[in-house]
């Protein structure tokens, strides 16, 4: 019988399992402490768990992490890992900063959205990651940090790697529950960010399960431009997505009442002064925070960026009209670890 990866289970699932085993509830907390706090991935080494239970767990389950295939380190401290997850390849990015350290994790092998400016979509979509493959990225990096005291501890998680998280709905939700659980990773709801290209029906449902920071990858000030660069807009147009996000943040405490927007700057496509005023008009009825993202070059892409003045002009127009806006600092560009560059390829 093929063993099941124990990391697929959140605390509630493990509790039901142990009730079936007729085990005391405190054993659940002991095992979670071994895995998530002590980073112990062998039942045999969980010395305060009785031997019979350890044997039973060993017969049914394993605790397997993604396997590192390649490690790339940027001049700015960013690290990118190419990982093998059950025969498929994904990428995970570690981004250290002065006061925090962010881990960017993947939720799918490839991506079904296939935005024109993104490397991940060019490889196509293969499958969703399961819970163990999603949280296994965090556990693996925590294990590496534990071995190397020069690496900062992770303070923030962003689901912005390969894939559209909301098209892997329940696996992502169960993963987030493990991230939030004080007996597991114990991250604050304001330290977990889910970035979506805008799947309206899933956004309406999301708040029923978890409350974390939601970010909308908008990238265009109108449907005409967005249809050209993001085909998903033909099914979920801008207004329908903004309405669903407005519903989400009404009930969310993590988002503090603001719609978080990501806007990639594409030269002569969405970066003109006219586009800036269109964006202002689009968001006039919403409290928003905008991240302007300079386009990061990738191989075989029709887009490029050659005029950073456009970004600054765009930024100034938004600021002068009362928009809360940042220009995202480019990190890990020399190792293809920046926004839109993840491809999960052996290169």
pLDDT tens figures, 118-149: 878 788 899 999 999 999 999 999 999 999 88
Catalytic residue (one of 104, 118, 184, 339): 339
Confidence of residue 341 (pLDDT cuts 50, 70, 90): low
pTM, whole model, 2 decimals?
Answer: 0.94
Tens of pLDDT along 74-117? 999 999 999 999 999 999 999 999 999 999 999 999 998 988 88
Residue 338 has pLDDT above 70, yes or no: no
**How far, in Å, CA of 107 to CA of 194, rounded?**
10
Q: Give CA 130 to chain center in angstroms.
A: 14
CA distance 260 to 249: 10
Query: pLDDT value at position 38?
Result: 98
Write the pLDDT tens digit of every residue in 270-329.
Answer: 999 999 999 999 999 999 999 999 887 766 555 555 567 889 999 999 999 999 999 988
- 219-253: pLDDT as tens digits: 999 999 999 999 999 999 999 999 999 999 999 99
Only one residue has tokens 């979920």, namely 236
Decide if 55 is catalytic.
no
User: Which one of the listed residues 91, 133, 164, 262 is annotated catalytic?
Assistant: 91
Cα–chain center distance at 64: 21
């Amino acid at each position: 019988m093929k063993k099941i990866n124990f990391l697929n289970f959140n605390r509630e699932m493990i509790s039901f399992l142990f009730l079936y085993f007729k085990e005391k509830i405190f054993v659940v907390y002991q095992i979670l402490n071994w895995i998530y706090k002590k980073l112990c991935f062998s039942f045999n080494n969980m010395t305060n768990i009785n031997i019979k239970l350890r044997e039973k767990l060993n017969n049914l389950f394993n605790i397997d992490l993604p396997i590192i295939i390649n490690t790339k380190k940027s001049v700015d401290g960013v690290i990118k890992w190419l990982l093998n997850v059950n025969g498929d390849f994904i990428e995970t990015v570690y981004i250290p900063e002065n006061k925090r350290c962010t881990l960017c994790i993947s939720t799918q092998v490839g991506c079904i959205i296939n935005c024109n400016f993104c490397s991940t979509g060019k490889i196509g979509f293969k499958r969703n990651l399961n819970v163990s493959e999603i949280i296994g990225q965090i556990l693996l990096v925590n294990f590496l940090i534990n071995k190397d005291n020069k690496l900062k501890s992770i303070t923030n998680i962003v689901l912005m790697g390969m894939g559209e998280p909301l098209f892997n709905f329940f696996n992502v939700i169960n993963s987030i529950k493990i991230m939030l659980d004080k007996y597991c990773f114990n991250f604050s709801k304001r330290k977990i960010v889910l970035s979506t290209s805008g799947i309206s029906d899933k956004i309406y449902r999301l708040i029923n399960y978890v409350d974390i920071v939601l970010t909308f990858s908008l990238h265009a000030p109108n449907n005409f431009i967005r249809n050209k660069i993001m085909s998903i807009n033909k099914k979920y147009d801008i207004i329908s997505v903004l309405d669903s996000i407005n519903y989400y943040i009404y009930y969310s405490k993590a988002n503090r009442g603001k719609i978080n927007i990501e806007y990639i700057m594409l030269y002569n496509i969405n970066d003109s002064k006219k586009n800036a005023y269109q964006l202002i008009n689009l968001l006039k009825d919403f409290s928003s925070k905008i991240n302007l993202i300079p386009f990061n070059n990738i191989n075989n892409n029709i887009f490029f960026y050659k005029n950073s003045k456009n970004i600054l002009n765009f930024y100034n127009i938004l600021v002068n009209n009362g928009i809360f806006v940042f220009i995202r600092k480019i990190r890990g560009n020399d190792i293809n670890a920046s926004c839109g560059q993840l491809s999960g390829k052996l290169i």
